[in-house]
Amino acid sequence: MLGRLLGRSPGLRWWVTRPVLHPTRAIGDKAKGAQDEALQTANPGYKAFKNDRRPTNFDKKVLVWAGRFKKEEDIPKHISSEVLDAARNSVRIKVCYIMIALTLLGCLAMVITGKEAAKRDHTLLRMNIEKKAKWRAEVAEDQEAAVGKPQ
């Protein structure tokens, strides 16, 4: 009977099964409400919003670097997640621009050093030929030593 009743009304099913299936969520919601009440008693004029959060030290640095605030002291105790997300996105874009510039500088440096090495005839082909000639000389010495040394 209860199965039929819950199957036909999804809203009632949600309210009945939620504490059973997710007891930590139900407790977490109560804790969140208690935290909001504590904030209201600490700051009577402040109304806690659902998406407000207390910024960490790293968040404060991100907000300052993004240009949202001039100094870390100017940042309020609670800040909306939208403002923080927008600041993170702008910092992410700045970091990407810096990485692009560093990549281009690295490529330019590699091209310049490669051209200078080519002028000095310091190429991979020449280095490989010298290395193989050295190996052949070592093998020839070992063969001469083996032939010249009677057992």
pLDDT, mean of each 10-residue run, the chain (151 residues)? 56 55 51 53 56 88 91 89 92 96 98 92 90 96 82 56
* DSSP state string for 68-110: S-SSGGGS-SSEEHHHHHHHHHHHHHHHHHHHHHHHHHHHHHH
d(CA 112, CA 82): 45
d(CA 130, CA 121): 13
Q: pTM, whole model, 2 decimals?
A: 0.51
